[in-house]
Amino acid sequence: MARKSWLTLVKEHLVDIKGAGWTDENLTIIKSLIDAIKAVTDDLPAEFSALALEATLASHDTDIKALLATIVGHIDTEIAAIMADLDNPDQYKADVAALALEATLDAIKGGGWTDESLKAIKDAIDAIAGVNSYQEQIPATDFALAVIDNVLTADPPGADAENSVVDIDQNAGDTFVLRSLLVDITSFGTTGGTKLTFALWGLVNGVVKKVDEVDVSSLGLQNLMDLFGLQEVYGDGIWITVLTDATDEPGDAACEGTWKYAKAS
């Protein structure tokens, strides 16, 4: 009984030696595997052996250390150069010596400058440009008065149509210029008529007033210069009326013509 227990113990040890997953890995097979590995390693160059590698490192120890020292020195040099650049930021600043200095800018601003910026200047220019240039009247205005009266029943702008030569009424925001006037006087009136009287009306401090008056005692053509000694007439409202000295009512005093104006807003 005791002998059987010993054999069992030996068997258990052998099983442990074989290891888990063992099939037929006996000593002969293991030996053949070792021999195969050795056959391969025997063909390797000598420098691959541990001893050879150690000898090689020993023989080049000085060279390796020198190379590492060179690399470290190069890194130190580059870092020192970078630090030198960072410590000198002025080298990256633009050279502004040739640009306008404050004195030059003051000269450009000029004496008496306060806050006249480019924006303010532009606004001023825009304000000037905002006033429209005169727009010419096209076509001109023709008129023909055949029964000119000898009295005005109302001053302009409410003057009688038979006595109105030029009638340019006020219009908010507008101003006018009478460019031209050409009048052809054809009759003073058959009942004692000897002349026509032309009157120029305009605004004086916002009130319509007669600013000039002239008698014309010859038939034919008259212009602004002939009548009032003016090449043009400016105003926010412009009127010209005509009267006859004939006594008949209504009479037959007559004139006709053309006038032209321009307007700015």
pLDDT, one tens digit per residue, over 183-196 is 999 999 988 899 99
User: Bridge partners of 141?
Assistant: 259
pLDDT at 152: 93
Closest CA to 240 of 210, 204, 219, 205: 210
> What DSSP character marks residue 24?
S
**Cα 250 from Cα 146, distance rounded (Å):** 10
Amino acid at 136: E
Closest CA to 200 of 174, 168, 175, 161: 168
Cβ atoms of 261 and 176 within 8 Å: the answer is: yes
Mean pLDDT, the chain, whole residue set: 80
Which one is predicted more confidently, 225 or 11? Answer: 225
| In the block, residue with structure tokens 């925001």 | 173
**pLDDT class of 217 with cuts at 50, 70, 90:** very high
**pLDDT class of 79 with cuts at 50, 70, 90:** confident
CATH architecture for the domain at 135-264: Sandwich (2.60)
pLDDT at 108: 76
In the chain, where are the structural domains located? 2-43, 135-264
Count CB neighbours of 156 within 10 A.
Answer: 23
pLDDT, one tens digit per residue, over 226-236 is 999 999 999 99
Cβ atoms of 204 and 211 within 8 Å: the answer is: yes
pLDDT at 123: 73
